[in-house]
Amino acid sequence: MKPQRFAVTPGEPAGIGPDLCLLLASQPQPHPLIAITSRDLLLERAAQLGVAVHLLDVVPGNWPDLPAPAGSLYVWDTALAANVVAGQLNKANAAFVLETLTRAGQGCIDGDFAGMITGPVHKGVINESGIAFSGHTEFLAELTNTVQVVMMLATRGLRVALVTTHLPLRDIADAITAERVERVTRILHADLQQKFGIAQPRILVCGLNPHAGEGGHLGHEEIDIIEPTLERLRQEGMDLRGPLPADTLFTPKYLEHCDAVLAMYHDQGLPVLKYKGFGAAVNVTLGLPIIRTSVDHGTALDLAGSGKIDTGSLHVALETAYQMAETRI
């Protein structure tokens, strides 16, 4: 694959995101990675970690075409509002975090980057600064004028997308509508084809209720909403299996013959995926006109600057972004 540029945003500056960027620099990369962050922040964190790194400044219009040598990191310097102490949140730097995301996202829209890989942000401190922020996904959807996006987590051998995401359990059944199930399924199917190169995706779909409703004895959402919606989409040629009971769907008998699982809610699908690939999973935002992957962990403030972090999720996020860029139609 010809080298393509990718943007990396470390996220919360007091967390482990800067540490992850510095660890990237210690290994040769197949593509030019542009860290969009503060140059001074990286130098200070490198000194704290005892890491030797050569920072190579880049700016729009002067992008590199080749990967940085091992021990080096391309940096698009972005100014902090206040000094950073590892592990200590400071709401003064909230706008800095959003500026790095804007630069990365706009760079993808403009074609400067083939995709973006995001480190963990701290939603609370951004909101405390007076900026309304509900997460990367919503921010990038607004930036790209995307109406509907889908959250998918993936690890080696398993992909799980969600019909609903961060809702209280008592609200989930009302949110499972034919319109939502159809919209999410279409986005998942299209992105598996267009961004993962799967010509005919096979998707397993969970029921909402235990035993997928037990023929209506444990709920009617499967009969009234999910199955009729899937049948309409099958008539268009989609390979959709279900609705299946979640407690049996997540077994080798089913998973070895599927490309993705569509779960009805957050804690139906993600506990299984994280058990299978904790520390080596990636968050992918489907439905965007750009490629965006992310680590599946938080800011880990207590580990920032300690040198005791695991880069597994970051490497999977990178690998996934590379794969998506290579196979994208």
Interatomic CA distance for residues 146 and 265, integer angstroms: 22
Alpha carbon of residue 257 to chain centroid: 24
Which tokens in the block code for residue 38?
């503060």
CA distances (Å), 103 to each of 9, 116, 293, in order? Answer: 9, 10, 16
- Is residue 219 within 8 Å of 163, Cβ to Cβ? no
Taking alpha carbons only, the member of 243, 184, 171 closest to residue 213 is 243
Number of Cβ atoms within 10 Å of the Cβ of 147: 7
Which tokens in the block code for residue 261?
């699982």
Supply the pLDDT for residue 166.
83
Is 122 a known ligand-binding residue? no
Domains in the chain with CATH codes: 6-146+288-327 (3.40.718.10), 150-274 (3.40.718.10)
Is 9 a known ligand-binding residue? no
Is 189 a known ligand-binding residue? no
Q: Distance from first CA to last CA of the chain, Å, rounded?
A: 15
Is 211 a known ligand-binding residue? yes
SS3 content of the chain, % helix, strand, coil (to 5): 40, 20, 40
Q: Where are the alpha helices (DSSP H) in 111-203?
A: 123-128, 136-143, 169-175, 178-194
Supply the pLDDT for residue 328.
84
Is 62 a known ligand-binding residue? no
Supply the pLDDT for residue 1.
63
Which tokens in the block code for residue 292?
């965006």
Helix (H, G, I), strand (E, B) or coil at 132: coil
Is 283 a known ligand-binding residue? yes
Supply the pLDDT for residue 329.
67
Q: What are phi and psi of 78, to 5 degrees?
A: -130, 130
Which tokens in the block code for residue 167?
């809702």
Supply the pLDDT for residue 277.
84
pTM: 0.90
Identity (one letter) of the amino acid at 67?
A: P
Mean pLDDT of all residues in the chain? Answer: 94
Ranges of residues in the chain with a pLDDT under 70 are 1, 329
